[in-house]
């Protein structure tokens, strides 16, 4: 026993080593997943840092330009106050203030005063002679009209000596005079700020005005030619207000069509946009190098894991494939096949158990064949007996139908005599009868007619079931057949106070079928409708062409038919509760009508809810138009 236990223990330890190798491969896969995750988040962090630096550069450049302009504008606003004196003294006071402004703000190279009518009355410049006297009319220029409209006006950038950027800043005076002080400002400082704003080795910055035209760029030629960048996607989005500012970075394109990483910030005073951009290939170059190194390491680890899996898979798959091939042959019927797996682990034990199972299956198969053979013989005997019983039942059904047909013929002859003699006595052709005798004669006549109708229906139904009914199929007028049926029930309908209406579709007239049988179906449906419709009710007959067939419907305002009775009433001797209470009818009219309609290849059904009347519908094949 101890030796047997040791033999069982050794395979378990060998299989454990296989699972250890599998777990090791899974661990390597987990490490790879962790490395990829770390690489992804590292990439995202580096990208965010790059975005943050670029947006901060744009913000810093815009803030520097704002800090340059704000004190300059305040200086111009300080001298844009009316002088204390008037006349020549007032002019001298303005001139002195303008000279002091030129000394304090060296970026201002010229100051002019425009009176309330727009005439230039004073111009002061460190490089030119001072001009006094109201001579030039500048009332139509933007520097005057813009300042009068908005208090402060910032003009477009222009260039002096073909390379030095300048702009005009004009401020309207306070008070009733509303003159304008216009200062020409040197923007070389702005150009210096833009040139010094760089990101990485290939990054650059530029500024555009509110219309997208360059006002500052490291490439001076682009600025001097008044290049418009409004067509670039990042500039268009910034001008339209659809792009977020400051710390948001987008992917755009430069004038050469290359993708660039772009951030922008608005200079509020001038309505300029400062863009800081770097080619995408340069911006992500360090990240791409890191990704390539990490990807190479991941590929090496992945190859190691795959190699481990292949070795383990081969060692485990070989015995399993052997068992699979043997199982396929056994499944094909070779029950003498056995599995040969030279392994001492659980796979070897499984192969042994499989061989023992096949041996038991082979024994069971032999026993099963014997049982199947016995059951087959018993089933053949039972089928033979069943076939004999079926032939006997078919013969009995045929005899029944023939018997009913013959008996119906034998019964109708004396019954017609009874009805005839009753009518003769009822009409007093051989003398008077008293009231009691007349009552009994009415009962005999009514019972005889009811019995005759029952016998006729039984005869017709038995002929149909026996296959003795041959339809005389020919085209006929459906409208005339319906009108004939309405005429046949109109007398009773009038006596019972029921209105009968025929509404035939003018497009539906000629149909193909046995006219006499169709008239019989129509009469059965109409007589039922009149019989179950209370006084004051209505019966309607309608025709229509639907999906290539003709539909005939007979509706009434009677008690209706419950949903559970809609199929049952088309069976022999089945009636609804209302029919049983009236004690009229044979219970065969609807069954016979169903057989006749089906002989024509049609269908018949009933619609409507209990208590809301009923509508019987049957279909017939339509004749070609």
Chain centroid offset of residue 29 CA: 39
Q: What percent of the chain has pLDDT over 90?
A: 2
Residue 558 or 365, more confident: 558
Nearest to 485 by CA among 422, 552, 407, 564: 552
Are residues 179 and 122 in contact, defined by beta-carbon separation less than 8 angstroms?
no
Q: From CA 236, how far away is CA 216, in angstroms rounded?
A: 17
- Do residues 473 and 512 touch, judged by C-beta distance below 8 A? yes
Average pLDDT of the residues in 614-623 = 85
* pLDDT given for residue 174 in this prediction: 76
Higher local confidence (pLDDT), 263 or 13: 263
Residue 482, pLDDT score: 87
- Between 104 and 580, the more confident residue is 104
Per residue, what are the HEC states of 487-537? HHHHHHHHHHCCEEEEECCCCCCEEEECHHHHHHHHHHHHHHHHHHCCCCC
Structure token pair of residue 1: 């026993």
What separation in angstroms does the CA of 596 have from each of 252, 409, 477, 525, 551? 83, 21, 18, 13, 15
Q: Answer yes or no: is pLDDT of 3 > 50.
A: no
- Rounded to whole angstroms, how far apart are CA atoms 477 and 482? 9
pLDDT at 546 over 80: yes
The structure tokens 């094949």 sit at 621
Q: How confident is the model at residue 554 (pLDDT cuts 50, 70, 90)?
A: very high
For residues 625 and 620, what is the distance between their CA atoms, to the nearest angstrom? 15
Chain-centroid distance, C-alpha 44: 35
Mean pLDDT estimate for the chain: 78
Quick one: angle between helices 346-426 and 2-79, nearest 10? 80
Regarding pTM above 0.75, the answer is: no
Torsion of CA 256, 259, 261, 264, to 10 degrees: 50
Reference 352, options 391, 319, 308, 328; nearest CA is 319
Could you tell me the two tokens for 179? 């003159």
Count of CB atoms situated within 10 Å of the CB of 113:
24
Phi, psi torsion values for 382, nearest 5 degrees: -65, -40
Q: Which of 214-223, 380-389, 564-573 has the highest mean pLDDT?
A: 214-223
Distance set, CA 622 to CA 307, 471, 551 (Å): 78, 16, 9
What is the rounded end-to-end Cα distance, in angstroms, of the chain? 97
Which of 153-167, 225-239, 547-561 is the least confident region?
153-167
Does the pLDDT of residue 100 top 60, yes or no? yes
Instruction: Identify the weakest region by mean pLDDT among 17-21, 135-139, 208-212, 504-508.
Output: 17-21
The pLDDT of residue 460 is above 70:
no
Residues 6 or more apart from 29 whose CB is under 8 A from it? Answer: 305
So what's the pLDDT on residue 624?
55
Q: Can you list the pairs that 372-379 forms with residues at least 24 positions away whose Cβ atoms lie under 8 Å? A: none
Question: Burial letters for 354-392: b for 16+ Cβ neighbours within 10 Å, e otherwise?
Answer: bbeebeeeeeeeeeeeeeeeeeeeeeeeeeeeeeeeeee
Average pLDDT over residues 292-313: 68
Question: pLDDT: is 110 or 470 the higher one?
Answer: 110
Are 58 and 263 in contact by the 8 Å Cβ rule? The answer is: yes
- Whole-number Cα distances in Å, 209 to 195, 232, 595, 600: 17, 14, 94, 90
Helix ranges (DSSP H) in 180-255: 188-196, 220-224, 233-240
Reported in sequence order, the residue ranges of 246-293 that DSSP labels E, i.e. its strands, are 250-253, 259-267, 272-279
Q: Are 118 and 137 in contact (CB under 8 A)?
A: yes
Burial of 61 (0-12, 13-18, 19+ CB in 10 A): buried
**Residue-wise pLDDT tens digits, 567-589:** 888 776 666 655 555 545 556 77
* CB burial of residue 597 (10 Å; 0-12, 13-18, 19+): buried
- DSSP state, residue 622: B
pLDDT computed for residue 193 by the predictor: 87
Instruction: Calculate mean pLDDT across residues 192-203.
Output: 82
pLDDT for res 337? 66
Q: Which is more confident, 515 or 581?
A: 515
pLDDT of residue 4: 41
Tokens of 267: 């200079």
pLDDT above 50 for 2? no
Phi, psi of 486 (to 5 degrees): -65, -40
Mean pLDDT of 447-476: 67
Torsion of CA 78, 82, 87, 91, to 10 degrees: 20
Percentage of the chain lying above the pLDDT 70 cut: 75
């Amino acid at each position: 026993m101890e030796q047997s236990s040791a033999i069982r223990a050794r395979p378990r330890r060998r299989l454990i080593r296989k699972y250890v190798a599998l777990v090791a491969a899974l661990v390597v896969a987990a490490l790879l997943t962790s490395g990829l995750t770390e690489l992804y988040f590292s990439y995202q962090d580096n990208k965010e840092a790059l975005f943050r630096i670029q947006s901060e550069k744009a913000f810093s450049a815009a803030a520097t330009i704002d800090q340059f302009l704000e004190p300059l504008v305040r200086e111009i606003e300080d001298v844009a106050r009316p002088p204390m004196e008037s006349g020549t003294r007032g002019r001298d006071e303005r001139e002195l203030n303008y000279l002091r402004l030129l000394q304090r703000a060296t970026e201002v190279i010229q100051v002019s005063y425009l009176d309330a009518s727009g005439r230039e009355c004073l111009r002061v410049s460190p490089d030119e002679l001072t001009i006094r006297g109201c001579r030039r009319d500048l009332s139509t220029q933007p520097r005057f009209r813009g300042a009068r409209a908005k208090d402060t006006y910032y003009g477009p950038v222009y260039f002096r000596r073909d390379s030095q950027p300048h702009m005009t800043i004009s401020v309207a005076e306070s008070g009733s005079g509303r003159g304008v002080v216009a200062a020409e400002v040197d923007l070389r400082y702005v150009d210096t700020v833009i040139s010094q704003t760089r990101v990485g080795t290939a990054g650059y910055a530029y500024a555009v005005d509110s219309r997208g035209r360059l006002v500052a760029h490291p490439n001076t030629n682009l600025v001097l030619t008044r290049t418009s960048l409004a067509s670039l996607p990042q500039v268009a989005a910034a001008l339209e207000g659809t792009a977020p500012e400051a710390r948001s970075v987008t992917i755009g394109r430069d004038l050469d069509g290359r993708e660039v990483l772009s951030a922008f910030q608005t200079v509020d005073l001038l309505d300029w946009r400062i863009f800081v951009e770097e080619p995408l290939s340069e911006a992500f170059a360090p990240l791409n190098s890191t990704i390539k190194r990490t990807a190479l390491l991941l590929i090496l680890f992945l190859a190691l894991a795959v190699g481990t899996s292949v070795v383990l898979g081969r060692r485990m798959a070989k015995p399993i494939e052997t068992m699979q091939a043997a199982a396929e042959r056994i499944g094909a019927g070779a029950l003498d096949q056995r599995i040969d797996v030279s392994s001492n682990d659980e796979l070897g034990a499984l192969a042994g158990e499989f061989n023992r199972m096949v041996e038991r299956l082979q024994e069971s198969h032999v026993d099963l064949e014997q049982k199947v053979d016995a059951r087959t013989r018993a089933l053949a005997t039972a089928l033979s007996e069943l076939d004999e019983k079926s032939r006997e039942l078919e013969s009995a059904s045929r005899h029944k139908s023939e018997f009913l047909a013959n008996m119906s013929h034998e019964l109708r002859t004396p019954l017609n005599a009874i009805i005839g003699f009753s009518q003769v006595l009822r009409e007093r052709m051989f003398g008077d009868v008293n009231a009691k005798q007349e009552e009994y004669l009415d009962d005999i006549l009514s019972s005889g007619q009811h019995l005759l109708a029952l016998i006729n229906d039984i005869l017709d139904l038995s002929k149909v079931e026996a296959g003795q009914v041959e339809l005389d199929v020919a085209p006929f007028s459906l409208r005339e057949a319906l009108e004939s049926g309405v005429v046949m029930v109109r007398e009773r309908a009038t006596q019972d106070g029921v209105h009968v209406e025929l509404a035939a579709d003018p497009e539906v007239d000629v149909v193909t079928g046995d006219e006499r049988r169709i008239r019989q179906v129509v009469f059965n449906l109409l007589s039922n409708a009149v019989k179950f419709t209370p006084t004051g009710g209505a019966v309607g007959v309608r025709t229509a062409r639907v999906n290539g067939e003709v539909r005939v419907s007979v509706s009434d305002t009677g008690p209706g038919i419950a949903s559970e009775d809609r199929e049952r009433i088309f069976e022999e001797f089945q009636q609804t509760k209302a029919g049983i209470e009236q004690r009229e009818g044979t219970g065969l009219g609807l069954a016979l009508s169903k057989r006749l309609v089906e002989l024509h290849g049609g269908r018949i059904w009933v619609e409507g809810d209990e208590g809301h009347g009923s509508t019987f519908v049957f279909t017939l094949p339509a004749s070609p138009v």
